[in-house]
Amino acid sequence: MVADVIDSDSWRLWPAGDKRLMVDKQVYRNLSTVTDKDLDTVKRNFEWVVEQLDHLVPPNEHLVVIVMGSPADKAHCENIQKYCNELGLKSEVRCTSAHKTTEYTLDMISFYEGLNVPLVFIAVAGRSNGLGPVISGNTDYPVINCPPGPKEDLQRDVWSSLNVPSGLGCSTVVYPETAALCAAQNIALTNYIVWAKLRARRLGFLETLPRADKEIRSTH
């Protein structure tokens, strides 16, 4: 049943032709009638989706490899991993320097390429980011740069991630949550569970933001 129903196209029919989730989008059409009951309907639907996802078997293997250039960036990587966990992603956290342990870095890339599963690398390297570009130059899997800060250095150091030489294909984000979401969007191309997690999460905004709006409006 799952294979038929849950993919990016037929979500609107889900679950099994039930149009209740469509209804929640109509709720917002007439702003004057956003009642608590409407919001609760959305919320219940949303929670139901999340629960269902826990019963599904993962369709295939995948791995998000979070690589830090220095042990000092461990907290940043754990933050990324926390978001990965919430999105149903499998991940590993590793440590190697493209500058100081270059061969170890190349071996690490080879090791993960040999696993034969869809991979996404998230490169976490402060100051001059050699890690993401060196990984990207030695693999064809997606590489997402997510510099660890400190925040006040980001404005200048982000260019070592963004302004990569021609021929390299790594992209850049500036928040751990964004890195995990990007990785999830990539993996979701081959994994409907992750895709459903993303959609359920995004559906949640349709409940949380209008509820926040309602509270704020009522008190100002």
59 scored as a contact of a copy of itself (CB under 8 A): no
CB of 165 vs a copy of itself, minimal distance in Å? 5
20 scored as a contact of a copy of itself (CB under 8 A): no
Query: Of 16-24, 36-44, 45-53, 161-169, which part binds a copy of itself (CB under 8 A)?
Result: 161-169
φ, ψ (nearest 5 deg) of residue 63: -155, 135
Query: Of 13-21, 23-31, 40-48, 49-57, which part binds a copy of itself (CB under 8 A)?
Result: 23-31
State how far the Cα of 81 lies from the Cα of 68, in Å rounded to an integer: 12
Name which of residues 97 to 116 contact a copy of itself (CB under 8 A).
97-104, 106-108, 110-111, 113-116
CB of 216 vs a copy of itself, minimal distance in Å? 5
186 scored as a contact of a copy of itself (CB under 8 A): yes
32 scored as a contact of a copy of itself (CB under 8 A): yes
**How far, CA to CA in Å, does 84 sit from each of 15, 111, 179?**
25, 21, 9
Other C-beta atoms within 10 Å of 101: how many? 14
What count of Cα atoms within 13 Å lies in the side-chain half-sphere of residue 74?
Answer: 2
State how far the Cα of 188 lies from the Cα of 98, in Å rounded to an integer: 29
**How far, CA to CA in Å, does 50 sit from each of 89, 110, 139, 192?**
15, 36, 34, 13
CB of 155 vs a copy of itself, minimal distance in Å? 6
Name the residue nearer to a copy of itself (CB basis): 21 or 69: 69
- Rule CB under 8 A: choose which of 20, 22, 35, 205 binds a copy of itself: 205
Map residue 43 onto helix, strand or coil: helix
